[in-house]
């Protein structure tokens, strides 16, 4: 029946080597990458906004500190994306919600626009627009784990340029195909970057920084975050490998379409290996965590970045991985077809 033959197709595809002419497409993929990278001018504007907001907020809270995090600081951000900021503040008197409300007042008085405090969100934030730079941003409070994982991603990106190339193309694919929407049950950009890092660790293009002797340590809400962060000493790490962005893209989608064992495996950049669902006790649904695709957070290790995926969206995701793998294997124009918008 249909089931048997589709199993057979899957099996055959799994053993298929990469097409011999994959590198014909490398220039096109690299030019897509270049077109998505933010300009120096844009990066300077982001810094300017950080400086002016820090000045405003420090007047009220002299001991606070404002950090950039997320895509504008982890080096995986596209041009024209929103800015994520995190205010670190040690005020035992005030709750997070009170801080958010007071922050909104301070920003209002300083003439920032479109100020919206969202106090009931899972992560409470203030949204605003800066008329000077035209940039929009979200400010959250005391979410330091996000600041630390931002640094980890940025440090990995410095080791081998192919990580950034791969992750940009994967994010662009995910946005085009509408599988980058956590509120719809698909994966965050953060999760896709972790999936790319893991693939490059398996292929020995990247080391596992958390398994090396730590040169950077912080403790955030009981989580010990420690890793080797002198990455300028590692910039020859992947030099032995001639993998190009096209081959890595093929490997990425082939892995998630045909090689990953969804019933048993957890990917873990903390260890640089695949670990078992059994060992993490992620074999069944617990509350809202379904563990249908398992991606361990590097610091909050009880946190599965795939937990938002449900029994409907896992099918959509796997079909999209297969579609992408097949395009890279067979299509005449993969650098176009891969990003064709999803039409419901």
Binding site for ligand ATP (CB under 6 A): 69-71, 74, 76-78, 81, 84, 146, 149-150, 188-190, 297, 303, 305
- Angle at Cα 190 formed by Cα 224 and Cα 138, nearest 5°? 90
Which among 53-61, 68-76, 164-172, 293-301 is the span making contact with Mg ion, rule CB under 5 A?
A: 68-76
Q: Is 98 helix (H, G, I), strand (E, B) or coil?
A: helix
Tell me which residue of 227, 241, 228, 229 sits closest to 162, measured CA to CA: 241
CA 332 to each of CA 22, 165, 251, 305, 326: distance values in angstroms, whole numbers, following the listed order: 10, 21, 18, 34, 11
Closest distance to ligand ATP from the beta carbon of 208 (Å)? 19
Closer residue to ligand ATP, CB minimum distance, 110 or 220: 220
On whether the CB atoms of residues 258 and 13 are closer than 8 A, the answer is yes
Q: What is the maximum alpha-carbon separation in the chain? A: 71
Closer residue to Mg ion, CB minimum distance, 70 or 238: 70
Q: DSSP labels for 135-161?
A: -EEEEEES-HHHHHHHHHHHHHHHH-H
Measured CA to CA, the distance from residue 241 to residue 159 in angstroms comes to: 13
Closest distance to ligand ATP from the beta carbon of 66 (Å)? 15
Closer residue to ligand ATP, CB minimum distance, 20 or 183: 183
Closest distance to ligand ATP from the beta carbon of 308 (Å)? 8
Per partner kind, with CB cut-offs from 5 to 8 A, the member of ligand ATP, Mg ion, none near residue 77 is ligand ATP
Closer residue to ligand ATP, CB minimum distance, 75 or 244: 75
| By CB under 5 A, residue 70 contacts Mg ion | yes
Closer residue to ligand ATP, CB minimum distance, 74 or 244: 74
Interface with Mg ion by CB under 5 A: which residues?
A: 70-71
């Amino acid at each position: 029946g249909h089931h048997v033959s589709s199993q057979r197709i899957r099996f055959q595809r799994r053993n298929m080597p990469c097409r011999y002419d994959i590198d014909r497409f490398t220039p096109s993929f690299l030019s897509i990458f270049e077109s998505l990278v933010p300009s120096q001018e844009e990066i300077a504007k982001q810094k300017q906004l950080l400086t002016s907001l820090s000045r405003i907020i420090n007047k009220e809270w002299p001991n606070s500190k404002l950090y950039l995090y997320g895509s504008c600081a982890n080096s995986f951000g596209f041009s024209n994306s929103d800015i994520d900021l995190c205010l670190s503040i040690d005020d035992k008197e005030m709750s997070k919600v009170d801080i958010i409300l007071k922050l909104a007042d301070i920003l209002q008085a300083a003439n920032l626009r479109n100020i919206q405090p969202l106090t009931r969100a899972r992560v409470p934030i203030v949204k605003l627009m800066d008329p000077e730079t035209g940039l929009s941003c979200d400010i959250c409070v005391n979410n330091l784990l996000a600041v630390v994982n931002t640094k980890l991603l940025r440090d990995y990106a410095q080791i081998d340029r192919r990580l950034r190339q791969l992750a940009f193309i994967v994010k662009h694919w995910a946005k085009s195909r509408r599988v980058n929407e956590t509120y719809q049950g698909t994966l965050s950009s953060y999760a896709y970057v972790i999936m790319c890092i893991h693939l490059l660790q398996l292929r020995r293009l990247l080391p596992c920084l958390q398994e090396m002797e730590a040169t950077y340590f912080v403790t955030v809400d009981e989580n010990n975050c420690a890793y080797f962060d002198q990455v300028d000493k590692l910039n020859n790490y992947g030099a032995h490998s001639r993998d190009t962005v096209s081959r890595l893209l093929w490997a990425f989608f082939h892995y998630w379409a045909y090689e990953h064992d969804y019933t048993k495996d957890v990917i873990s950049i903390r260890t640089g290996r695949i670990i078992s669902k059994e060992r993490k006790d992620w074999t069944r649904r617990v509350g809202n965590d379904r563990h249908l695709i398992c991606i361990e957070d590097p610091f909050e290790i009880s946190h599965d970045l795939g937990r938002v995926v449900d029994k409907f969206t896992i099918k959509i995701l796997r079909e999209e991985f297969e579609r992408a793998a097949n395009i890279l294997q067979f299509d005449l124009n993969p650098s176009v077809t891969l990003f064709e918008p999803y039409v419901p």
